[in-house]
């Protein structure tokens, strides 16, 4: 019976969450039920606490435990709304404290080195510029279509980010220059913004990740696509943009992510202050 309700939960949430997130939630819910050897309606607050303790004992990081708890909380909130249970066993269970660690980002000199590293390729420079200017995720970048770009407004429409929620991201004049130069250099008729070397399909995220591994080797310091997302947020914070605006541009959904970028925001403000004192 539990499995039927989990499947119903997945169906009802398929328009609210991306498939990857739903699969993760399902895994976490089933992990709890299998560990406690109980159907979902018999799970108690003590069971959930014991499960969380087991996860910690197995070496799961606090952020991972946090994410798992989000899935379970979402499912049981759904069960309450559907009248499947009369008491929510996770409603008053607090999220684990996330270690006070600021996300890694590139300094301006490091970013300049990265740009110099890709100056030989219009495609790679355009990718770096879009990452830095918009803060998009890799999945969002490779899914871009030409029709999503509005040169007049200097914006790009991201139709489906995390949580199936679209948003508009802005792009700087300099970054737009490299992006349009790359697009004009192409002779294909594909509708995609970034394409593979054979000009037959979208550029794959695996290729982008492989490129970044090469950049890291050449530069002598680690750089990954998501680090440019952090860099985007940090540079905006250093220029005084409110945290709420930065979060909207990033398309944040989860409280854990908000916490993470709050620390980054505060760190960036401190660095700006220190430069003036």
CATH number at residue 120: 1.10.443.10
Backbone φ, ψ for residue 192 (5° rounding): -80, 150
pLDDT for residue 246: 77
Residue-wise pLDDT tens digits, 33-70: 999 999 999 999 999 999 999 999 999 988 889 989 99
Query: Residue 139: pLDDT above 80?
Result: yes
Residue 22 shares a structural domain with residue 115: no
Q: How many domains does the chain have?
A: 2
Residue 194, both tokens: 């970034």
Based on the domain organization, do 129 and 230 belong to the same domain?
A: yes
Mark whether 11 and 140 lie in a shared domain: no
What pLDDT does 1 receive? 42
- The answer on 77 and 152 residing in a single domain is no
Which domain covers residue 230, as residue numbers? 108-276
Q: How many CA atoms lie within 13 A of 74 on its CB side?
A: 24
Tokens of 228: 């440019």
Are 77 and 112 in a shared domain? no
Average pLDDT over residues 183-193: 96
Residue 94 inside a domain? The answer is: no
Between 98 and 106, the more confident residue is 106
Which pLDDT tens digit goes with each residue over 201-259?
999 999 999 999 999 999 999 999 999 998 888 888 777 777 777 777 877 665 556 56
Among 38, 65, 81, the domain boundary falls at 81
**pLDDT (tens digit, 9 = 90+) per residue, 71-103?**
999 999 999 999 999 999 999 999 888 766 667
Judgement on whether residues 77 and 117 belong to the same structural domain of the protein: no
Is 184 in the same domain as 117? yes
How much is the pLDDT for 256? Answer: 57
- Residue 258 domain-assigned (yes or no): yes
87 inside domain: no
The domain boundary residue, chosen from 66, 81, 96: 81
Same domain, 140 and 246: yes
Are 16 and 164 within 8 A, CB to CB?
Answer: yes
pLDDT at residue 2, as a whole number: 45
96 occurs within a structural domain: no
């Amino acid at each position: 019976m539990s499995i039927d309700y989990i499947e119903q939960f997945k169906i009802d949430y398929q328009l609210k969450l991306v498939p990857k997130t739903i699969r993760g939630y399902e895994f976490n819910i089933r992990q709890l039920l299998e560990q406690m050897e109980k159907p979902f309606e018999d799970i108690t607050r003590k069971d959930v606490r014991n499960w969380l303790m087991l996860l910690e004992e197995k070496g799961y990081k606090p952020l991972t435990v946090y994410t798992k708890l989000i899935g379970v909380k979402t499912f049981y909130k759904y069960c309450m709304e559907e009248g499947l249970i009369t008491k929510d066993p996770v409603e008053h269970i607090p999220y684990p404290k996330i270690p006070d660690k600021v996300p890694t980002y590139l300094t301006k000199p490091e970013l300049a080195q990265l740009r110099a590293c890709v100056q030989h390729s219009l495609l790679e420079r355009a990718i770096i510029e879009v990452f830095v200017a918009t803060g998009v995720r890799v999945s969002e970048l490779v899914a871009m279509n030409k029709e999503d770009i509005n040169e007049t407004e200097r914006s790009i429409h991201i139709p489906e980010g995390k949580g199936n929620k679209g948003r508009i991201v802005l792009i700087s004049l300099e970054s737009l220059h490299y992006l349009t130069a790359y697009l004009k250099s192409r002779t294909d008729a594909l509708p995609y913004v970034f394409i593979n070397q054979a000009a037959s399909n979208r550029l794959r995220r695996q290729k982008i990740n492989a490129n970044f591994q090469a950049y890291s080797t050449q530069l002598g310091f680690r750089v990954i696509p998501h680090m440019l997302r952090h860099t985007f947020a940090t540079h905006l914070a250093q220029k005084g943009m409110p945290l709420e605006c930065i979060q909207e541009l990033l398309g944040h959904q989860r409280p854990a992510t908000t916490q993470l970028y709050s620390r980054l925001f505060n760190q960036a403000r401190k660095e700006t202050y220190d430069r003036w004192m």
